[in-house]
Amino acid sequence: MQLSTVVGIGRSILTVINTTARREEADLIVLGWHGTVHEGNVRGSVAQEVLRTADRDVAVVKDYGLPDRVDDLVVGASPGLHTRQTVDLAADLARGFDATLRVLTIERPGDDDVAAGRFHDEISGHLAAVLPSDRIELDRVVAADVTGAFASQARSSSLVVIGTSRDWVSWRTLAGAFADDLANRVDRSIVMLRPNERRSLSWWRRVVGVLRVADTSARERTGLAAHSHAVGGPRCQSGGLPSAGWAVNR
């Protein structure tokens, strides 16, 4: 990977980032985030706009700093959205840091144990082709509070990698409620990845996501939904703070 600096001038930061990424044929756009992630910071932020419009993978990094030596990374994995791409990014980082990769799955009580075991076997087989076996750890933890359990487990790692959750299309969130909540609760640097999707798939996922959000809001208004706590998160551009974007060729 080659490192170079590009200064872009345009009518908006969003346009400059996306245009530069296309011109440089970048595989990945990396954005920084500072502070708490919550709806007031997320709406209209550069990070949210890039996540929604970029035609390639986007990673948002909430930075708590890194130790002098990055010994291990933890990546959240569960059957479903964006898991394979997120694990691949974590494996790339583990190779770059010469670190151990811990794949962590949090299961709720009563989840299908057989399906979870089969999923872990698939991930293990996939990683065996890219990392030595002594640098791969697969863990399953059963807990009712998924986010709290993941945050507790992640505190022993140098870096956390997580994929966007299914509701990332909501304007209320940056990378989805789970990812946003985790970013606020874990005191380690965290990389939140939104892999690129075909435009047709992305469009349909947004429609479904919006309908789910609308349905949840309606049930909340009628008192049928359980009370939910507010989730917060950092923002890439706020109150005149500079916002930076990196286009990365892997």
For the stretch 47-64, pLDDT in tens is 989 988 899 999 999 988
> For 87-105, how does the pLDDT look when each residue is reduced to its tens digit (9 = 90+)?
999 999 999 999 999 999 9
Architecture of the structural domain at 14-248? 3-Layer(aba) Sandwich (3.40)
132 Cβ contact partners less than 8 Å away, ≥ 6 residues apart: none
Give me the chain's average pLDDT, please: 78
Mean pLDDT (whole number) for 221-235: 34
Predicted confidence at residue 136, as pLDDT, reads 95
Q: Nearest Cα to 35, choosing from 183, 243, 162?
A: 183
| Cross-sheet strand order for the sheet of 159-163 | 136-142, 100-107, 72-76, 159-163, 190-194, 57-62, 28-33, 245-248
Q: Is the confidence at residue 229, as pLDDT, over 80?
A: no
Query: pTM for this structure?
Result: 0.76
Predicted confidence at residue 169, as pLDDT, reads 62
Q: Which structure tokens are listed for 213?
A: 């959000």
Predicted confidence at residue 93, as pLDDT, reads 95
Cα→Cα distances 109→10, 143, 215, Å: 51, 6, 26
Q: Is the confidence at residue 243, as pLDDT, over 50?
A: no
Q: Predicted confidence band at 1 (pLDDT cuts at 50, 70, 90)?
A: low
Mean pLDDT (whole number) for 75-95: 88
The larger pLDDT score, comparing residue 75 to residue 172, is at: 75
Predicted confidence at residue 80, as pLDDT, reads 67
Predicted confidence at residue 6, as pLDDT, reads 84
35 Cβ contact partners less than 8 Å away, ≥ 6 residues apart: 41, 234, 235, 238
Q: Is the confidence at residue 199, as pLDDT, over 90?
A: no
Mean pLDDT (whole number) for 235-239: 33
Predicted confidence at residue 191, as pLDDT, reads 95
Distance of CA 132 to the CA centre of its chain: 25
